[in-house]
Amino acid sequence: MNNLTLLYAEDDPQSRKNYAFVLEEYFFRVYTAKDGREALDLYHEKKPDVLLLDITMPFIDGLEVTETVRKRDKDIPIIILTAHADQKKLLTAIPLGLSEYLLKPIDDRKLRETMIMVISEIQNRGSISLKKKLLWNKENSNLFYEDENVKLTKKEHKLMILLINSIGEYFTHDRLILQIWDDEIPDASHDNKLHQLVYRLNKKINGVTNKGTQLIENSYTLGYRITCYS
């Protein structure tokens, strides 16, 4: 379970109850509002990660809520719920940057796909896509494969940070040795230590992905590098 929260605004009490229960499968906490005014109050108080708003609500409708939120937050995923009769209203929402809209009654499969999509987008913010579904999270300096953390040793972690910070560029052997073994005086043994470090890390990643992945590339004359696959 992630630690993301969602604000769900729906004026129909039965729909609100039923779908709040479903949405709790995807989010750590689901806040519910019965109208647009309450939705805005909860947005400011709870600071949710995702908004799911009915387009037609008392006091303030879903599009007005969206417009107000967008003045403060350009990035939060916002999903609008709409009936067929209200679809023309969505044309006015194009500049508001909706993540998705869902037709009512909500299709369970479409709801699931949409929730997975927005959760993935949030979790991958600040991430660099590498080879074979590998992601490097720049905020916490962690390596992930299909949302699972790849555990790195201290020196593997230092190596990854150095190569990721200059992605696509080669690091010479000497430069890597000086920065990874910064608490040691370099000698002839460090060339082999670096070679073994890269070998073990590539082997570890290959074992995780099971796809023959060589994340760190080696050039005898230029050194080592990681390339980015967007």
**pLDDT tens-digit series, residues 147-164:** 788 999 999 999 999 998
3-state secondary structure the chain: CCCCEEEEECCCHHHHHHHHHHHCCCCCEEEEECCHHHHHHHHHHHCCCEEEEECCCCCCCHHHHHHHHHCCCCCCCEEEEECHHHHHHHHHHHHHCCCEEEECCCCHHHHHHHHHHHHHHHHCCCEEECCCCEEEECCCCEEEECCEEECCCHHHHHHHHHHHHCCCCCECHHHHHHHHCCCCCCCCHHHHHHHHHHHHHHHHHHHHHCCCCCCEEEECCCEEEECCCC
The predicted model scores a pTM of 0.59
pLDDT in tens, 35-91: 999 999 999 999 999 999 998 899 998 889 999 999 888 889 999 988 865 666 666
190 pLDDT more than 70: yes
Q: What does the pLDDT read at residue 198?
A: 95
pLDDT tier at 166 (50, 70, 90 boundaries)? Answer: confident
pLDDT for res 230: 43
In the predicted model, what is the mean pLDDT of the chain? 87
**pLDDT classification of 209: cutoffs 50, 70, 90:** confident
Tell me: the pLDDT tens digits for 90-110?
666 665 677 788 888 888 999
pLDDT at 221 over 80: yes
pLDDT given at position 3: 81
Structural domains of the chain ordered from first start? 5-123 (3.40.50.2300), 127-226 (1.10.10.10)
